[in-house]
Structure 1
Amino acid sequence: MRHDHGLDSVVDADPHHHTSGVTMSTPHIPIIDLDTWRSGDPTTQKAVARELDYAMQESGFLMLANHGVPPELGADLRTAAKEFFSLPFEVKAKYETTVGGRGWLPSGKEANSFDGEDPDASRPDMKESYTIGRNHLSGNADIDDYWFQPNVWPTEVPELELHAVRYMDVMYGLYDELLRICGEALDLGREWFIDRTSNGSRTLNINRYPALEETGDPQDGQFRVGPHTDWSIFTLLDRQVGYGGFQVESDGEWFDAPFVEGTLVVNIGDLMARWTGDRWCSTRHRVLPPQKEAPKEELISLIQFCDANVDAVIEPMPAPIGKNTGLPSIQAGEYLRRRAMAASVN
């Protein structure tokens, strides 16, 4: 069910990593094998749910093995995305959008660094993105006009639509499965989260992290993606390993996240943390800037977000689930809108 093998090359296997005499706790990021959950044995499934619960309390992160997403889906989508990102600026500009919108977001337009204060627009993220949403209508015209606008597809790269739709369809099935494990983990029933996310926008971000040769040296404190927490329920990340890598914060220190070929990274977002009364952690993470050791390194991440129904009111669950039960309620859509505005660079 859980496998920690192969992680010592990327995260110290000792739970207390010693640097300069200071003891720091490495984040608990286990691998959960979905084939074990799919076995259908109730005792085994309970064990999987307990492991998810523990990981979400300890670090807010885990990795999924045997998740069932064919690797060629991500590979084909990356190929099409790279073809789009290689187009001239003036061509891509036809599809430009803003943070939270659908289409192309140029480099310099988003600053994700967030610790309760507004991000620093003078040090924007060193990336460009293509954002795609779910082809769905909730039945509420006001919600649909804002949250479910039609996707924008570049006519120059028709393969992008084909591969993105195929990829998202499979990912939707996977995160419904994860939502059922979450419901089991909290003894809420397997459909509890399904019912409250069925009208979510299900955004997919394709992030391109350009090479140092293209970007030039980063400013002090500038990152490919600045230190932040994710906004919504949880994130499914298909990432490429590199020098400008993915890091997770633990006890005020930063650690390289483990990378195991073929796994997906799952992490909890702010709204899920609030829903569980801070039982589960929405943990800060970042993507390092391009590094001089690899001046030609270019990476593409596929980031699928699981969103609550945009009109859902997120209230902390009572004890014994919730630990911080006095948190004020938040409307999901309003919170997402505020975070998108805060991350926008004019």
Structure 2
Amino acid sequence: MGAMTATVESSVDSFHVPVIDITAYTANGDPADRAVVAAQIDDAASSVGFMQIVGHQVPAVVLDEFTAVMDDFFALPLEEKKAYRTPPEINRGYAPPKSESLSLSLGVESAGRMNDFFEAFNVGVEAREYPALALPDDHYADNTWPSVDHFQAAVSAYFAEARRVARTLTRIFADALDLPPEFFDAYTDHSLDVLRMNNYALPPGEVDIDGELTGMGEHTDYGIATVLWADQVKGLQVLDHHGNWHDVAPADGALLINLGDLMARWTNERWMSTLHRVKPPIVDGTIERRRSAAYFHDGNIDATISTLPSCVGAGSRYSPITVGEHIGAKLAGSRAGQSNPYAQRDAARVRQAMVRGRGQQ
């Protein structure tokens, strides 16, 4: 089957997030069709850092059951949800509104208030899945499962599908970067993956809506790639090269994909880890409901990420770093309010974005 490409237009005609059909990889297409897809991925990764994929073959019934139990959980009373909180260093369980600041993951001191207006629930890969490896319990922590009917089964089913999609993407990435087909396997065979379910609407009276409202602050994602399911509700905004913010909503049946900081490091910024944020719409003083679920494919905690030889060029912009060092510093920023010491380039980028994007608020 040949590859299909479309575009999602923003308010500025020159900005678009390409929609790419990856059926050539999910249905064993021929090499010529795969080469077309890999070229499209390379172009999107180099120019936007975001893309949308169709042909991913995630069953509709899996998505329907997953979103239903996500709704059931977020409909619980706030105090009941808070029973599933974990310490900041454990990236699991429930995060209530205004308990995080994603901008701090970039080391931006002025964004230090923990005021991101979203609630979330996280699950991830557990150490017990790899009994032969001595994986750290804090990063590969046991999941906390709420007492919601079918929640664990439905979330686990979607987790498995998102993991499959992420691994398919790394296979495409290898082709796009002229690497051996299995190149990324050694870096992802016990990948530190997390699924974060987000909700941006709360019943009236639970929070005060005053001043600047941040759904999710300006940030880049941390790892290799993010597989995002989202409502077709405005809120997600992506920064372009000129410092303008653009609304991006998924096309019918599409999953949004964006690259993380580790991929930008690997490729020496040939591929982009693009700044994005969520600005939930306010209608008559209340927030319009919006949901999303981000599967973060982050790589093995003990893997060292160094610039690919084919991307070094005149010199590498980044020193080698392990996945564990990188992710740990990012989470210490967003969840515990600690500035990220490894994010000098990222911090400069977000400060520039804040200045350029101020007129787009």
TM-score range, shorter chain: 0.7 to 0.9
After superposition, residues 167-178 of structure 1 pair within 5 angstroms as 167-178=158-169
Once the two structures are superposed, what CA deviation does each residue of 1:96-137 show, in whole Å capped at 9, x if it has no partner?
124452111111111112554247242511011100012422
Alignment of 1:99-248 (within 5 A): 99=88, 100-114=90-104, 115-118=106-109, 120-122=111-113, 124-135=115-126, 136-137=129-130, 139-141=132-134, 143-154=135-146, 156-211=147-202, 213=204, 215-220=207-212, 222-243=213-234, 245-248=235-238
CA separation of 1:47 and 1:323: change in aligned 2, threshold 3 A: farther
1:282 equivalent in alignment to 2:284? no
Residue identity opposite 1:111 in structure 2 = S
2:132 alignment partner AA: G
CA offsets 1:29-68 (integer angstroms, 9 cap, x no match): 2111012343521112111111101110101111001210
**Equivalent residue number for residue 35 of structure 1:** 23
Question: Does residue 83 in structure 1 map to residue 72 in structure 2?
Answer: yes
Structure 1 residue 297: Cα displacement:
2.1
**How far did residue 93 of structure 1 move?**
2.2
From 291, 294, 301, the counterpart of 1:310: 301
Match of 2:346 in 1: none
Return the alpha-carbon distance in structure 1 between the equivalents of residues 313 and 227 of structure 2.
24
Unaligned runs of 5+ in 1: 16-25
**Hey, what's the Cα distance between the residues in 1 that align with 2:315 and 2:61?**
42
Deviation per residue, 1:210-236 (Å, 9 max, x gap): 15845442532x311111100111100
Contact 1:279 1:323 in 2 (8 A): no
CA contact (8 A) 1:133 1:203 kept: yes
Rounded to whole Å, the distance in 2 between the matches of 1:307 and 1:280 is: 16
1:3 to 1, 5, 10: 5
**One-letter amino acid matched to 1:127:** F
Q: State the Cα distance separating 1:77 from its structure 2 match.
A: 1.6
> Which of 39, 42, 47 matches 1:50?
39
- Per-residue CA shift, 1:221-277, capped at 9, x if unaligned? x3111111001111000001224x111000211011143111000000001110111
Q: Equivalent residue of 2:83, what SS? A: helix
The list of structure 1 runs, each at least 4 consecutive aligned residues, that deviate by more than 4 angstroms after superposition, is 320-324
Identity of aligned residues (%): 31
Q: Distance in 2 between matches of 1:162 and 1:75?
A: 13
Alpha-carbon distance between aligned partners in 2 of 1:330 and 1:119, rounded to the nearest angstrom: 26
Deviates more, 1:51-60 or 1:129-138: 129-138
Instruction: Choose the corresponding residue for 2:58, options 61, 69, 76.
Output: 69
Q: Structure 1 residues 159-168 or 82-91, which shifts more?
A: 82-91
**C-alpha distance in 2, partners of 1:119/1:238?**
30
- How has the CA–CA distance of structure 1 residues 199 and 119 changed in structure 2, closer, same or farther, with 3 Å as cutoff? farther
Question: Alpha carbons of 1:123 and 1:94: their partners in 2 closer, same or farther (altered >3 Å)?
Answer: closer
In the TM superposition, what is the alpha-carbon distance from 1:324 to its structure 2 partner?
5.4
SS in 1 for 2:296: strand
Would the alpha carbon gap of residues 266 and 321 (structure 1) be closer, same or farther in structure 2, given more than 3 Å must change?
farther
Instruction: List runs of 5+ in structure 2 lacking aligned partners.
Output: 338-361
- Tell me if the contact between 1:138 and 1:199 (Cα under 8 Å) persists in the aligned partners: no
Amino acid in structure 2 at the alignment position of 1:112: L
| Counterpart-to-counterpart distance in 2, 1:322 and 1:160 | 48
Across the aligned residues of Structure 1 and Structure 2, the Cα RMSD in angstroms comes to 2.2
Provide the C-alpha distance between the structure 2 equivalents of 1:119 and 1:182, rounded to a whole number of angstroms: 35
Change (3 A) 1:181 1:300: same
Inter-partner Cα distance in structure 1 for 2:181 and 2:121: 33
